[in-house]
Amino acid sequence: MISLTSPVETRAHGWPAGAKLLLLCAATIILVANQSLAFQIAAFLACLALYALPGRTFFTAGIKALWALWPFLVLLVVWHLVIGDPSGGALIALRLLTAVGLATLVTMTTRLSDMIAVVQWLLKPFARFGLNTRALELGIALVIRFTPTLADKGRQLGAAWQARARSKPRWRVILPFTVLAIDDAEQVAEAIRARGGLNPTPRR
């Protein structure tokens, strides 16, 4: 899941988070199980149609989020061209685009608190056995929250490099990007420790 919030309100914002996540799981299973290139093309076009329904602003935000996948798609296509299986590469690329597109659609139309509530409900049976499920709940929230933040910082680093040099940044931004990610992680860890850490809330 790449994006976090939607720039516009849609009808899907009012749907239960559990139902949307269940539909996402079912759709992903169907995408993985189907090996037809025509089906994958139709599924991708249907995904694009879902982005287009709320209007141009929502569609643009969705496409911008999916653009982050282009390095993986290039690697997939090049590799399958090398091994002589272009149709297989196209099938996997379309499947990846559609699956991530649907997942991003869910995150764009679902509040983070609602998704965490679904995770808490799913993990409730494990908590009865004394397992600390708070770490997993918090981990999921942090991944969803910080993935778009780190991606935006990566774009800012690339733009800053190009503003000072003629060449493209490429590997040169890896080290500063890593430092930024570690710094963010340390700040989040300090904030978590200041609020009691990952210990479960004692039952009354």
Residue span of the structural domain in which 149 resides: 132-194
**Helices within 34-133 (DSSP H only):** 37-52, 56-66, 70-82, 86-108, 112-127
Same domain, 49 and 104: yes
Report the pLDDT averaged over residues 78-106. Answer: 90
Give per-residue pLDDT as tens, 183-192.
888 888 888 7
Q: Is residue 50 part of a domain?
A: yes
Q: Are 168 and 162 in contact (CB under 8 A)?
A: yes
pLDDT of residue 177: 80
Whether the pLDDT of residue 199 is over 70: the answer is no
Report the pLDDT averaged over residues 7-15. Answer: 81
Q: Is residue 179 part of a domain?
A: yes
pLDDT of residue 26: 95
Integer Cα distance of 178 and 128 in angstroms: 38
Q: Is residue 122 part of a domain?
A: no
Last residue of a domain, one of 77, 110, 143: 110
> Using alpha carbons only, what angle is made at residue 105 by residues 101 and 111, rounded to the nearest 5 degrees?
145
pTM: 0.68
Give per-residue pLDDT as tens, 127-160.
777 777 777 777 777 777 777 777 778 778 888 8
Least confident of 32-36, 54-58, 67-71: 67-71
- Among 97, 114, 115, residue whose Cα is nearest residue 2: 97
Last residue of a domain, one of 110, 145, 178: 110
Whether the pLDDT of residue 11 is over 70: the answer is yes
Most confident of 4-13, 47-56, 69-78: 47-56
pLDDT of residue 3: 45
Same domain, 97 and 153: no
Give per-residue pLDDT as tens, 35-62.
999 999 999 999 999 999 888 888 888 8
- Among 91, 106, 1, 4, residue whose Cα is nearest residue 50: 106
Whether the pLDDT of residue 79 is over 60: the answer is yes
> Domain total for the chain?
2
pLDDT of residue 47: 92
Q: Is residue 116 part of a domain?
A: no
11 or 101, which is more confident?
101
Same domain, 137 and 63: no
Report the pLDDT averaged over residues 94-122. Answer: 86
Same domain, 93 and 159: no
202 or 151, which is more confident?
151
Whether the pLDDT of residue 9 is over 50: the answer is yes
Integer Cα distance of 37 and 39 in angstroms: 5
Q: Is residue 104 part of a domain?
A: yes
pLDDT of residue 25: 92
